[in-house]
Amino acid sequence: MSYTTELDHIVVACTTLDEGRAWCKETLGVEASGGGKHAGIGTHNTLLSLGAKHYLEIIAIDPNPDPSAPATAFPRWFGLDTDEVKSLIAHEPRLVAWVVRVSREGVAQDAIEQVAKAKGNAANIVRPAQRGDLRWRFAFTQDGARPRSGVLPHFIQWDVPIHPCERLPDVGVSLSSLVIADPTPEYLSSTLQTVNFSDEKVHIGQSSTPQLIATLYAPKGIVVLE
């Protein structure tokens, strides 16, 4: 196998980005920073460092997309166009997804293409994306829905030597753990093993319905997102 995978970031969706920024300040006690518009996708975001290797993405549909950018021609990521996610975030921002970083070994430029074809992975449509000087490829589902209601990840391959974590200020927030739970946890384990996933922060559990739970250490104390 010419790649490995590990947790890259977690995703909180909101109805507006201003709502997301206010939620971040109120819930975690810190200001999010950076981010911007995603040309051709119709979303915008802001970010928060969770340590040297992970970050929190706060994302919303952009009500004022760049008029010079191409129109969005496919469903947005993280199920933002689905009734499921719209209902989840109708009253407050919510943790909706997690993203796994594909790390190439040697010159495996198509590593994310290999991941997209992995058995059991529904995020199998790879599209390029860009924001400023950051370029990456991202694995979507065909209909834009979250894989297994968010407990299985989307995938990202950074195609530049820099990473958002390198530019985000340390604001005293860190990720303690991410729990992915499902009625059939063995299926989650098998799917992640197929893509050579390993990350000590991620734990698999069993629950009656799909659940995604992140525990953070923040200036306001221990914060649980779900």
Pairing status of strand 125-131 against strand 43-49: unpaired
The encoded tokens of residue 42 equal 């119709």
Radius of gyration in angstroms for the set of CA atoms belonging to the chain, rounded to a whole number? 16
Average pLDDT in the chain: 91
Q: How far is CA 77 from the centre of its chain?
A: 9
For residues 217 and 162, give the distance between their C-alpha atoms in angstroms, rounded to a whole number: 25
- 160-207 pLDDT, tens digit per residue, is 888 999 999 999 999 999 999 999 999 999 999 999 999 999 999 999
What pLDDT does 106 receive?
54
pLDDT at residue 123 tops 70:
yes
* Neighbouring residues of 184: CB distance < 8 A, sequence distance ≥ 6: none
Pairing status of strand 211-218 against strand 174-182: antiparallel
With beta carbons less than 8 A apart as the criterion, state whether 187 and 62 touch: no
For residues 72 and 42, give the distance between their C-alpha atoms in angstroms, rounded to a whole number: 6
Q: Which residues pair with 58 in a beta bridge?
A: 12, 46
What pLDDT does 178 receive?
98
Nearest to 60 by CA among 9, 11, 99: 11
The maximal CA–CA distance of the chain, rounded, in angstroms, is: 46
What pLDDT does 38 receive?
85
What pLDDT does 57 receive?
97
Reported as a pLDDT band with limits 50, 70 and 90, residue 52 is confident
Please report, for the domain that includes residue 140, its CATH number: 3.10.180.10
The fraction of the chain above a pLDDT of 70, given in percent, is 96
Task: Quote the number of domains for the chain.
Answer: 1
What pLDDT does 41 receive?
86
153 vs 65: which has the higher pLDDT: 153
What pLDDT does 131 receive?
82
Task: Identify the DSSP state of 169.
Answer: -
pLDDT at residue 107 tops 60:
no
CA angle in degrees (0–180, nearest 5) for 4-7-10: 150
Reported as a pLDDT band with limits 50, 70 and 90, residue 105 is low
Task: Identify the DSSP state of 57.
Answer: E
Task: Identify the DSSP state of 118.
Answer: S
With beta carbons less than 8 A apart as the criterion, state whether 195 and 123 touch: no
pLDDT at residue 85 tops 80:
yes
Reported as a pLDDT band with limits 50, 70 and 90, residue 110 is confident
9 vs 119: which has the higher pLDDT: 9
On the 0-12 / 13-18 / 19+ scale of CB atoms within 10 A, 162 is exposed
- Neighbour count for residue 17 (Cβ, 10 Å): 21
Nearest to 93 by CA among 151, 168, 18: 18
- 134-156 pLDDT, tens digit per residue, is 889 999 999 999 999 999 999 99
The whole domain housing 206 covers 3-225
Pairing status of strand 221-225 against strand 174-182: unpaired
Q: Which of 47-56, 67-76, 215-224 has the lowest mean pLDDT?
A: 67-76
